[in-house]
Amino acid sequence: MSDLGPRVLIVDDEAGIRRFLRASLEAHRYLIHEAVTGEDALQVVPAFRPDLILLDLGLPGVGGKQVTSCLREWTQTPIIILSVQGDESAKIEALDAGADDYLTKPFGQGELLARIRAALRRVGQQDSGPVFVTGDLTVDLTGRAVRLGDEEVQLTPTEYSLLKAFVVHANKLLTHRQLVREVWGGAHYEDAQHLLRVNISNLRRKLETDPTRPHYIITEPGVGYRLRTEPRVSAAPSNA
């Protein structure tokens, strides 16, 4: 295996998990490097130059959140957090600190690969032009126009900035705090949270055919929202 595929750094202190991740990813032609601790990871990243980092949240010593904030000081390499259920607040902290996405253990290989692909695509997509298209939804960022199929959708300025934040970070999981910061700037987080939910709800009503089973704007309970761009991830849910 030479420099064929994207380079992925796996940071986890569990040998079993590292072995499973290495096996599944190498089978899909990713180039793997392993780190056991946070300190390891911080040392390895400049040398290995990964395209993506899979970072366990429950590391001994320097934790996942600290590793994320250290890395974010100098690199935008996508970071996917690996966590177990119950880590809710730690997970949100890591996401607020700049992690791109998370996976809850145990997860299936299909879901893992889908998340990695989405994160890598986002990096390549950054200059993809002023018009964003997914499914029936078209967002023209220069003309501030939103269309669903052939029909123009009328959005309030707030709804539009919210949608724009989603489009700019398409497929990325955005925490409530990040969205509030993006749309309302310095507004008080607690107050703006209510506004966020109302606007998400309105946005869904205008964009989704069934707001209860949203196709575009997906809720991550207790964490945030993401704009889904590819057809539904085929993997079965891992923890339901």
Out of 99, 201, 229, 231, the only residue in the binding site for another protein (CB under 8 A) is 201
CB atoms within 10 A of CB 98: 17
> Cβ closer to another protein: 86 or 130?
86
> Cβ closer to another protein: 62 or 218?
218
The stretch near another protein (CB under 8 A) out of 25-33, 37-45, 49-57, 200-208 is 200-208
Out of 88, 135, 144, 152, the only residue in the binding site for another protein (CB under 8 A) is 88
198 binds another protein (CB under 8 A): yes
- Window 217 to 236, contacts with another protein (CB under 8 A): 218-222, 236
The stretch near another protein (CB under 8 A) out of 4-12, 119-127, 129-137, 198-206 is 198-206
Helices (H), the chain: 15-27, 38-48, 64-72, 88-96, 109-124, 157-168, 176-184, 189-207
The structure tokens 């960022």 sit at: 141
- CB 111, CB 153: distance < 8 Å: no
Distance CA 203, CA 113 (A): 29
- CB 80, CB 102: distance < 8 Å: yes
- Torsion from C-alpha of 176, 179, 181, 187, nearest 10 degrees: -70
> Cβ closer to another protein: 45 or 114?
114
The stretch near another protein (CB under 8 A) out of 67-75, 115-123, 146-154, 209-217 is 209-217
Out of 200, 207, 226, 227, the only residue in the binding site for another protein (CB under 8 A) is 200
Min CB(157)–another protein separation in Å: 20
238 binds another protein (CB under 8 A): yes
- CB 100, CB 115: distance < 8 Å: no
18 φ, ψ to 5°? -60, -45
Site string for another protein, 101-140 (x = CB under 8 A): -----x----------------------------------
Residue 111, CA atoms < 13 Å, CB-side half-sphere? 15
End-to-end alpha carbon distance in the chain: 36
Where do contacts with another protein occur on this chain (CB under 8 A)?
85-86, 88, 106, 193-194, 197-198, 200-201, 204, 210-214, 218-222, 236-240
